[in-house]
Amino acid sequence: MRARAGTGIATRFATFVGGSSRRALGVLVTLGALGATGASLVGCAPAPVASASAGLDEAESLIRAAVTSGEVRGLALAVVEDGQVRAIRSYGHRNADGQALQPGTVMYGASLTKTVFAYTVMQLADEGRIDLDAPIAGLLDRPLPDYPKDSRYGPWPDLRGDERWRALTPRILLSHRGGFGNFAFLEPDGKLRFHFEPGARYAYSGEGLILLQFVLEQGRLKLDLGQEMQRRVFDRFGMTMTAMTWRDDFAVNLADGVTAERRWVPHDRRSRVRAAGSMDTTIEDFARFAAGLARGDGLSPKGRTEMTRPQAAITTASQFPTLQPELPVAQRRPDLAAGLGVVVFDGPQGRGYFKGGHDDQTGNTMVCVERRRACVVLLSNDVMAERLYPAIVRRVLGETGVPFTWEYGEKAAGWMR
């Protein structure tokens, strides 16, 4: 995942909230029935909320105003309630030619890939093929630094002489506590290193997930991650236009991206499976995954619980920069923790979880409330659309307590309207 671009025109967000609801390009698909069942996962009684459908019109007016004004080029939205896809909508354009962004348009999943990867790993754990708490050394045929450099993975020889890699486990890596920075190529010298003891704290690391991918593929299990995810996730949920690498049929209905500088850039046709973020998907497809995850399909009750159980406290003011200092204990958020492939929070409606996905021209998020088995999924081919996300989620799900200021940093303070 590349560093996110600056907000630039973030101060204009207020115009979206109060803007007109002029007609913009929108596509609606409504599926399933709406319900609200399930028990709270926290001790206090959750706040009562209206159904997700009550706020959809408000959210749609906000989005259409942004698209009509040109402030956001393209955005797709899905709503899940009681584990069922309730609505799918798309707005705006998928490319500089003005072609419509549709529910079936292929978009870059970015780091939402990490949640799908974690779901896949949890299936392997359910089957007893891996132990979340066993050191990865037990799945390798030789010491990690002895594997030669391979452009598909990380520079493991850089760790030679540092035996801390032996303390790494799948649980530590899936909860971003491996001790690495985000990626080795972002280090000043381009070399992989430990910045803290494995398991000691949260620090977002794509490199950690790539390491777990390496262990599964090149270690004793000899799995093909692309095939595993296809069979275990994409086929299971009928995600026919989702894959971990480029497919030629994606080109028929494909979204290019828009940077903060309002420049269109071509879709990156990724040729390598990357657990940290190579997935292409559509809003229709990813809504099916979000609904399946909310229901717990494909996982044992224990495995599903582990994904959204707090694994470790998050101790930083924001998610990025990755290696920022930890806050003093009194300033840390007790409602925020690392899950497995997601971030877990407690709010007015009880336990929730979320995951974002970003690069210079992509802004995605999934926010879910456990007791309602309810989610909002937002995929955008315009990184500036992220400014709308706090307001959209609040309108559709009610007040959830999702920590947007931690996810997006100080710039998000102006978005919380």
Q: What is the mean pLDDT of residues 6-21?
A: 31
For the segment 372-386, what is each residue's pLDDT rounded down to a tens digit?
999 999 999 999 999
Cβ-based neighbours of 202, under 8 Å, separated by 6 or more: 175, 176, 177, 312, 313, 314, 315, 316, 338
For the segment 223-252, what is each residue's pLDDT rounded down to a tens digit?
999 999 999 999 999 999 999 999 999 999
CA-wise closest residue to 318 among 227, 404, 217, 216:
404
CB 358 within 8 A of CB 389: no
Q: What is residue 25's predicted lDDT score, i.e. its pLDDT? A: 37
Q: 51-60, 129-138, 267-276, 314-323: which has the minimum mean pLDDT?
A: 51-60
pLDDT reading at 20 higher than 90: no
Q: What is residue 5's predicted lDDT score, i.e. its pLDDT? A: 35
pLDDT reading at 356 higher than 70: yes
Confidence of residue 60 (pLDDT cuts 50, 70, 90): very high
Confidence of residue 279 (pLDDT cuts 50, 70, 90): very high
What is the residue-wise DSSP string for 99-152?
PBP-TT-BEE-TTHHHHHHHHHHHHHHHTTSS-TTS-GGGG-SS-GGGSPP-TT
Q: What is residue 51's predicted lDDT score, i.e. its pLDDT? A: 62
Looking at every residue in the chain, the average pLDDT score rounds to: 89
The residues spanned by each domain of the chain are: 10-121+224-311+337-415, 131-218
Q: What is the mean pLDDT of residues 109-119?
A: 98
pLDDT reading at 277 higher than 80: yes
Q: What is residue 146's predicted lDDT score, i.e. its pLDDT? A: 98
CA-wise closest residue to 202 among 338, 3, 328:
338
Give the pTM.
Answer: 0.88
CATH of 10-121+224-311+337-415 among 3.40.710.10, 3.40.50.300, 3.40.50.970, 3.40.47.10: 3.40.710.10
